Structures are given as structure tokens and as C-alpha cells.
Chains A and B, each alone.
Chain A
Amino acid sequence: QSALTQPASVSGSPGQSIAISCTGTSSDVGAYNSVSWYQQHPGKAPKLMIYDVSHRPSGVSDRFSGSKSGNTASLTISGLQAEDEADYYCSSYTKTTTLGGVFGGGTTLTVL
């Protein structure tokens, strides 16, 4: 089960917007609208931020949004805040793992 491809790091200044890409294949990201995004602060458990490409769970700020085009999904964070500094992981359904899915390698967001 190959990992999805994410940039290792991105950065932005407070108030700016950034986007994190997540590239898969026609067997995972491209085939299903089942992409989720997780935020993880150091030493903490992951937190679901986006599900099914573009939906936010209750309680997640609307500064977080998701989209997908072809085999690439994206997480956009607008109005960057210091507390957004964290690692972000994408995940996609792939039928080879029966709901297990595949994760991206993770992206470290630095708020300058």
C-alpha cells in the first residue's frame, strides 16, 4: 500500500492562506470522493479536519477547506493563525485495504 505524496513542509505568515497538496493515483484519490485530512500537534493524537474531500466535522473552523482535482486533493487553510502550526496528513480510501485506506507522508506547517 503506497503512501500518498505530500510536500514535506509549507509555511505562511499569520493571516495568509496556504494549500497542502496530496497526490495519489486513479486507484485511490482519483477514484473516490473519500479523502480526509488530519491535524496533529506534537505529542498529540490526530484530529479529523476534513472528510469526504470537502466536508468539515462539527467544531472545525471554516478557515479549513478541502478540494480535489483528478488524482490530487488539497487542504487550504485561510487566515493562518499560530495554532494552525502542526503536521497535516491526508488519507484516501482504496479498495485494496477495505476501509483502512492509505495515508500521505505528512506535511509540517510552520506559521512564520
Chain B
Amino acid sequence: EVQLVESGGGLVQPGGSLRLSCAASGFTFSSYWMSWVRQAPGKGLEWVANTNQDGSEKYYADSVKGRFTMSRDNAKNSLHLQIDSLRAEDSAVYYCARRALSYYGMEVWGQGTTVTVSS
């Protein structure tokens, strides 16, 4: 079964850091672009970051550039998002998603992990 499972969310104070992880299974992880998408409470979806198959290319939304770092470990079938200098507006459910190989779209999603930034 194709599956993505996120972990690492939690409650953190403003200015703090977190490292989110996404464990992939049931497919050849190293063949796919991967993304992080977030959703603030009661709000819509927001693309956060993408990385290509070997992690050599990474792209970030302007709202997180310089504070978020995406990485992947193909040997361990895992994706990570290092989040630094957290702000209240970063509070959200963070989803990892697999991008389709042959068309524009995110075809597999994890269940999400919740980040809450509060003092």
C-alpha cells in the first residue's frame, strides 16, 4: 500500500524550531518529486516547499524562505522539513505529498502533523 506518514509536530514557542518527518512506503520513493503543504486552522491549503528526486533542487514559498529547510533521505525513504524561527502564523497542519510523475498534481498525501506556535 502506498503510504506517507508524517510525524514531529507539536507545541513550540515563538522563535523555536521543529523537525518534521514523513515516512514513505509502498513505492519507489527516490523516483518522485515531493512536497510539503500546510493548512492553518480553518484556512485553505498553502504550498510550502518542493524537492526533486535526489534532493539537489529545493524550492520554497516566499513566506517560509530562509526559515524552512527541506531534505530527503532516499536510503531511508524519508522526507524532512526543518522549521526554524517559528512564528504564530506557522501554526498549521503540515502535509507531505507525492507529486505525480507525468502530470501536475499531488497524487498521494499523508494524514498530516500539527504544529502549534504559542507562548
A102 at the interface (CB under 8 A from B): yes
CB distance from B95 to the nearest CB of A (A): 6
Quick one: which of B60-97 are within 8 Å of A by CB?
61-62, 95
A51, B105: Cβ atoms under 8 Å?
yes
Interface size class of A (residues with CB under 8 A): 20 to 34
Smallest distance from the beta carbon of A58 to chain B beta carbons, Å? Answer: 10
1/0 contact trace for A52-78 toward B, CB 8 Å? 100101000000000000000000000
Residue of B nearest to A49 (CB): B105
Number of A-B contacts (CB under 8 A): 75
Q: Given contacts A51-B104, A97-B59, A98-B50, list 5 more A-B pairs with CB under 8 A.
A: A3-B44, A45-B95, A48-B105, A51-B107, A91-B105
Bound CA–CA A91/B50 (angstroms): 15
Contacts of A12 in B (CB 8 A): none
Cβ distance A39 to chain B, nearest Cβ, rounded Å:
11
Interface residues of B (CB under 8 A from A): 33, 35, 37, 44-47, 49-50, 57, 59, 61-62, 95, 99-100, 103-107, 109-112
Task: Collect the chain B residues with CB atoms within 8 Å of residue A32's CB.
Answer: 104
> Roughly how many angstroms separate A91 CA and B46 CA in the complex, as a whole number?
10
Q: Given A36-B105, A52-B103, A100–B47 Cβ distance below 8 Å?
A: yes
Whether A103 contacts B104 by the Cβ 8 Å rule is no
Cβ–Cβ < 8 Å partners of A105 in chain B: 44
Contact A99 B112 (CB under 8 A): no
The reply to whether B45 and A38 contact each other, CB–CB distance below 8 Å, is yes
State whether B61 touches A97 (Cβ < 8 A): yes
Contact across chains for A1 and B62 when beta carbons are under 8 A apart:
yes
